[in-house]
Copies of this chain bind each other. A is one copy, B any other.
């Protein structure tokens, strides 16, 4: 038996973790652009990275430490992705970390970057941020701010988990990402810290499992940016371990942050859950749900609040999953808009569906009527702001 209690704030809630963010002059206008997360003890660390074949330099730098290692320091910069920078990009990270010992006794420091692809890091500016950091700060709010790119709001979350008969542990995270939905490829970074006594050999597996219904439900596998990273740091300080409780806590955190990313979809106003039901297999349910959340025509219809369910049907029909016209039904929340018996939406049905679409958040349910596999993907609308944001992202 356990309870998961959301609490205010972010990483600051986890004992022994410190974080902060400063402006190193990478972004214009004195905006924060470099963040750190450190622990006062060594942490086991697990990470899941992008499946993009061109993995950014910080990912290759991380992997140099091998499969299982410990660290107490994470450095993160925005504005520059340090991707497509070759071996020089990795050397630049070494160069930056060569300045760290003057400030901090860091072991196996790791880095994450997000921003524009194809430019070398300004190692001097970033190393100069070590002078600016208060390494004893508990200011994850500033860290969350410094890692933002096109994000409209900061993303952090913390929970306390009370496990009956064992005690309590904490878990918390900061995250960045917006417009993550494929085919947008915008980078998503997430750093989770916990004082739970996570067995080090399980850390990456636990992370992968938690991602399936959270971050992986908002993007299509394989179509990810050069930098995507989800990292879990475990200090074990609480001494408490309960597999089920920790799994649920991770799920809670990652699902919350994934929905925050969708909500922050560039220029988007709506979060829509695409529930595909009764597919033949789980893979097909996922494929269909993600196809819906990615369809440009579906996304623009959401923006226009137009209950044009034909685009839903057409996307289902074209995405390569088993489906039959006379077994399919489509709902907008509780409003049935298509079933084999009800071939045509009447005025009242149209009005009801339109009412649903005016909400900031609703479900589009596609029951394929074939099997018993269900999957929900999350998407957002696509409007003019998306175009404006992405037409000239670098300037």
Contacts and interface: CB of A to CB of B under 8 A. Distances in A.
Interface of A: 50-54, 81, 83-86, 88, 116-120, 183-186, 222-226, 294-297, 300-301, 303-304, 306, 308-311, 313-320, 322-326, 338, 340, 343-345, 382-384, 386-388, 390-395
Contact of A314 (B225, B300, B303): B225
Across the A-B interface, the 3 shortest Cβ-Cβ residue pairs? A117-B310, A304-B391, A54-B317
Contacts of A183: 183, 294-297, 315
Given A117-B313, A300-B387, A344-B118, A306 B86 contact: no
A83 B297 CA distance: 17
Contact of A118 (B313, B326, B390, B393): B313
19 contacts: A52-B317, A54-B317, A54-B325, A84-B343, A116-B308, A118-B338, A118-B344, A183-B294, A183-B296, A184-B296, A185-B311, A185-B315, A222-B318, A296-B390, A304-B391, A304-B392, A306-B393, A306-B394, A382-B387
A115 to B, nearest CB: 9
A289 to B, nearest CB: 15
B118 A394 contact: no
Interface of A is mostly: loop
A90 to B, nearest CB: 12
B394 A316 contact: no
Nearest to A313: B84
A352 to B, nearest CB: 15
Contacts of A390: 296-297, 300-301, 304
Contact of A325 (B84, B344, B392): B84
A316 B314 CA distance: 27
Nearest to A222: B320
Contacts of A51: 318
A298 to B, nearest CB: 9
Contacts of A388: 384
A314 B117 contact: yes
Contacts of A223: 318-319
Given A303-B391, A304-B392, 17 more contacts: A52-B318, A53-B316, A54-B317, A54-B323, A85-B343, A86-B326, A116-B310, A117-B310, A119-B344, A120-B343, A185-B297, A222-B320, A226-B310, A300-B387, A301-B393, A306-B394, A384-B387
Nearest to A322: B53
A308 B184 contact: no
Among A53, A184, A316: residue with most chain B CB under 10 A: A53
A80 B222 CA distance: 36
A119 B344 CA distance: 6
Given A313-B226, A314-B117, A318-B225, A387 B54 contact: no
Contacts of A387: 300, 303, 382-384, 386-387
Contact of A306 (B119, B322, B386, B391): B391
A366 to B, nearest CB: 12
A370 B88 CA distance: 23
A189 to B, nearest CB: 15
A45 to B, nearest CB: 24
Nearest to A383: B387
Contact of A343 (B54, B118, B322): B118
